[in-house]
Structure 1
Amino acid sequence: MTERLSVPPVAVVLGGSHTGMLAARALAGLTDRVLVVERDELPSGAAPRRGLPQARHAHMLWSGGVLAMEELLPGITDALQDAGARRAPVTTDVVALSAQGWFRRWPESHHVILAGRDLLDAVVRAQVLADARIEVLTGTEVLGLDGSAESVTGVRVRGRDGRERTIEAGLVVDATGRGSGAPRWLTALGLPAPERREVDSGLAYASRLYRAPEQARDGFPVVNVQPDARSGRPGRAGFLLPIENGHWIVTLNGTRGGEPTPANASDDDFVRFAREELRHPLIGDLLDRAEPLSDVAFTRTTVNRRFFYERMPAWPENFTVLGDAVAAYNPVYGHGLAVGAQSALILRELTRRHGWRAPGLARRVQKAVARPVGAAWDLAIGQDVFYPGATANGPTLRERLLAAYVSRLLYTATGNGRIARRVTDVTSLERRAEVLVAPSVLLAAAVGPLRPPLASPPLTADELKRAGLQ
């Protein structure tokens, strides 16, 4: 018989990573107790975690997510910077080649936080768990939900000793990420399977940590060489992100037919792929002067997958799904962390407004979370859907029209700072996509860029010298 653990009013958060910790913070003070259930043992500092293999690849946190985190954890930006993370102004400190050409480095309009994932998680985790109202139950596997199609009353778990029990809860939040069992948990309660969509470009990732050349360890820009999804060729791209301790984390990727495979993502081939396979050799040239600090990490876990929980004909009380458990994106767009933070903030705002035991609260949260999820989804699949084999039927008419307009906007943004800012309003997740169809933006897109295209990467003479390229 499964033991039942009866407790005072408690919110149970499944998953102790980025979104789970922020969800726990969102609920602290709105209920007597928050319990985070985590399968792994959580490290005490900035160290690897078994259940987070993607931590070996590049991550960045867009300002739309940073602003949400500041609402939940005031001072978190300062805490991250004190720990070594970098606040990089956008597009001032970004050197990016798009399918439409090199972007100029306009004055700051938005920003990103750059750090290794282990550091980011450690700082957030320490801030959240400093709250005595939040507890963590580690080494515990989630087996399913307890309750009915009308209402979730708890969660069934199994501890490291193999013993099964049910934790009674007034609210259960699933933040278990890409591997979430929510679809089968819901069907086990008698609910229909959720609508689901996948867009799989066949993308593979290879990443490596480097020590930057000594003169380039402070203040060096992000470097991003993007693919052209409409070229008819595999899309190959690369990111170089300056993070803590004078390090660069570099991620190279390629879609089906052009991916860096485990065989050719070897130490010797990593720089060659960056120089010869990307649309510009800049990243490869930079790596020639840098010192490798790690082996090459490889993954194919890059499928865009979304569950449309907000469209379910019925939804149980006291259960909500957040973060990658709702939608997981191709990591190249860097939106997962921001969407998780925004979703946790939505959870807090709606719970405060309606009361944490209010009828229909869980459904309200699920519908509201669909807004930031949908924004990031459109940005992610807007390019990926055009690669051969990404979907069974290819892009929809809506996706073709949207992609054509976005391509024109990006072309305009290469030579128009005002439009570059509007585009970044959306890519940073600070504003909704409606800003891109304002009359002034439509007119600017029709006119096109106001300045001629750049012929080379917009690195300054000082940056070239510091990186050893001049």
Structure 2
Amino acid sequence: MTEVPSRSTTRVLVIGGSIAGMLAAAAVKDHVDSVDVIEAHELPEGPEPRTGVPQAVHIHLLHAGGAEAIDSLLPGSIDQLLAAGANRVPMTTNMVIHSPEGWYRRWRRGTHYLISASRDLTDFVVREQVLKDRRVAVHTHTKVLELLGDRRNVTGVRVLTADGEESLLSADLVIDASGRATRTPQWLTRLGITGLAEKRIDSGLVYASRVYRAPGPTRDWPMVGVQADPSLPRPGNAGGLLPIEGDRWHVSLMGAPGGQPTRDAAAFEAFARTLRHPVLADLLAHAEPLTDVSVTHSTANRRHFYERLAHWPRGLVALGDSVAVFNPVYGQGISVAAQGALALRDLLSGGLTPDLGRRAQRAIARPVNTAWTLAVGQDVHFPTTTGAAPNLADRLLHRYVSRLSRTATGSFHAATALTDVLALQAPPTSLVRPGVLLAALLGPRRPPLDGPQFTPAERRLLDGPNGAGDSPGQPERTDSGGRDRSTPGPCRRPPV
């Protein structure tokens, strides 16, 4: 075993070359002399699948709160993503969403946005931006075995390299961004730190995903989604379609126990037709499948409450999925990791202080709290969920949010309030501001829609020769005053 000698320079070790690990490196690189990313696998050179990320085959998006955090950490990254074919989707202007309370309107004035791209492309753009900095080095095929130090101070890690050699690497700060497979809880126990609280809430949802060649250009194509309704006497199922680079549609279907999708390619579109509305199945009838169906059962919400520990060692921070993972149907993971990394960077402006680790865990917990409240607040109401059951407060809150969601189908003000929170740009408590409460009390200003809103240009794309009509362009549906700008219409052949 070799040991790195003591140093006079400052060094950070990041466990994991995931997107959270790269964002962690971006957060600290301007405040220390060197950053070493320790990755157990190989990292691809381009926008290709990365080993150890099975969830990459399912739809991913960046909420506005996450996209802005990434662009603050790595200026120009979002422009680079868009230049590579990612889509900037205005919310709710370019969203065709069927909620349990009805169809959301496509308001002409979008107040927020999301970035839609494949996970491989997002990973690559972030990784490329980070590794341009000479202060950041990556050590692949290297496994972290344990933390060095004691309950007061973490001083580095012990690693095993591909050639079987063990080494002790010293550091001023160790950041665990190893993801779902994190071993920090076990490592803390070895250091003598106990009492870590953990929650796991699992709706039993299964994901099945496939990539399609769209029937025309996907620039400005809307996000399409059918949400599950926990009040229905049937297994909760849902689905989403995102436009991604290369004029492709990335489609994920989800189902709870008793109604789960499978890997059977022949059954994929048939399952889409079992959702609460067949809009996804009707769209896929115009598209060409490019991949097999990929399935995952790893959709539980799980959280380690590091910020609650009575003792936290100096020199250690946990970030991203190492802290919390969420049901992927809500698309929160990357955005929460980015906001956590941004919080860490802001704290580092005061230097590597003795209490940095504890303050960082509390700061990282804030965006986690928002995402956790949104995910668990929905999942807990499905009858198949294990790990928690709704109490009286949960049921009252769910009734209020459902009323606000119904109001949002015909109220620009209510829709904007919900979008503030869903985009991870406002806390859930903002939904009980007086103006939002009043909007919920008054209800929707417009009558409910009887089907999905598609612009004439979008319908022409689907109706064109061989499904190759005009580019859909920028939709203009309903302005913030509630005036309809175009008539909602279904897909054609077959009708929705």
- Deviation per residue, 1:279-317 (Å, 9 max, x gap): 000100111110000000110011100111111111111
Q: In the alignment, what sits opposite 2:382? A: 387
1:224 match: secondary structure: strand
Q: In the alignment, what sits opposite 1:4? A: 3
1:436 shift after superposition: 1.0
- Deviation per residue, 1:400-423 (Å, 9 max, x gap): 222222111111111100110111
Report the number of matched residues.
462
Residue 415, structure 1, aligned to residue 410, structure 2: yes
CA distance in 2, matches of 1:268, 1:233: 23
Structure 1 counterpart of 2:258, which letter?
G
Contact 2:47–2:120 under 8 Å retained in 1: yes
Structure 1 residue runs without a partner (length 5+): none
CA distance in 1, matches of 2:160, 2:428: 43
Q: 1:328 aligns with which of 321, 325, 330?
A: 325
Residue 355, structure 1, aligned to residue 351, structure 2: yes
Cα distance change of structure 1 residues 165 and 396 upon mapping to structure 2, 3 Å threshold: farther
Q: In the alignment, what sits opposite 1:293? A: 290
Contact 2:417–2:431 under 8 Å retained in 1: yes
Q: In the alignment, what sits opposite 1:23? A: 24
1:210 shift after superposition: 0.3
Structure 2 counterpart of 1:36, which letter?
V
- Deviation per residue, 1:215-252 (Å, 9 max, x gap): x5332111000000122421100010000010000000
Contact 1:184–1:193 under 8 Å retained in 2: no
- Deviation per residue, 1:242-272 (Å, 9 max, x gap): 00010000000111211113xxx31111011
Structure 2 counterpart of 1:413, which letter?
A
Contact 2:235–2:256 under 8 Å retained in 1: yes
Q: In the alignment, what sits opposite 1:306? A: 303
1:196 shift after superposition: 0.6
1:399 shift after superposition: 2.3
Q: In the alignment, what sits opposite 1:266? A: 264
395-404 vs 169-178, greater mean Cα deviation: 395-404
2:394 match: secondary structure: helix
CA distance in 2, matches of 1:396, 1:181: 32
- Deviation per residue, 1:308-349 (Å, 9 max, x gap): 111111111110111111110000101111001000000000
CA distance in 2, matches of 1:42, 1:69: 20
- TM-score, structure 2 normalization: 0.91
CA distance in 2, matches of 1:33, 1:364: 22
- Deviation per residue, 1:179-205 (Å, 9 max, x gap): 111110111111004101111011100
1:463 shift after superposition: 1.2
- Deviation per residue, 1:152-208 (Å, 9 max, x gap): 000111111121111101000111111111110111111004101111011100000
CA distance in 2, matches of 1:274, 1:96: 15
Q: 1:33-48 maps to which residues of 2 (within 5 A)?
A: 33-48=34-49
Structure 2 counterpart of 1:420, which letter?
A
Q: 1:54-203 maps to which residues of 2 (within 5 A)?
A: 54-106=55-107, 107-203=109-205
Structure 2 counterpart of 1:221, which letter?
P
1:5 shift after superposition: 2.1
- TM-score, structure 1 normalization: 0.96
1:315 match: secondary structure: coil
1:447 shift after superposition: 1.2
Q: Please report the RMSD computed on the Cα atoms of aligned residues, expressed in angstroms.
A: 1.2
1:393 shift after superposition: 4.8
CA distance in 1, matches of 2:373, 2:462: 36
2:377 match: secondary structure: helix
CA distance in 2, matches of 1:208, 1:299: 12
CA distance in 1, matches of 2:382, 2:462: 34
Residue 439, structure 1, aligned to residue 434, structure 2: yes
387-396 vs 373-382, greater mean Cα deviation: 387-396
1:388 shift after superposition: 2.2
Q: In the alignment, what sits opposite 1:343? A: 340
1:3 shift after superposition: 2.3
Cα distance change of structure 1 residues 166 and 402 upon mapping to structure 2, 3 Å threshold: farther
Structure 2 counterpart of 1:136, which letter?
V
2:158 match: secondary structure: strand
CA distance in 2, matches of 1:165, 1:387: 48
CA distance in 2, matches of 1:462, 1:9: 57
Structure 2 counterpart of 1:163, which letter?
E
1:448 shift after superposition: 1.0
Contact 2:152–2:312 under 8 Å retained in 1: yes
CA distance in 1, matches of 2:337, 2:387: 29
1:392 shift after superposition: 4.2
Q: In the alignment, what sits opposite 1:403? A: 398
Contact 2:24–2:341 under 8 Å retained in 1: yes
Q: 1:213-224 maps to which residues of 2 (within 5 A)?
A: 213-214=215-216, 216-224=217-225
- Of all paired residues, the percent bearing the same amino acid is 50
2:246 match: secondary structure: helix
Structure 1 counterpart of 2:315, which letter?
N
Contact 1:186–1:193 under 8 Å retained in 2: no
CA distance in 1, matches of 2:199, 2:387: 11
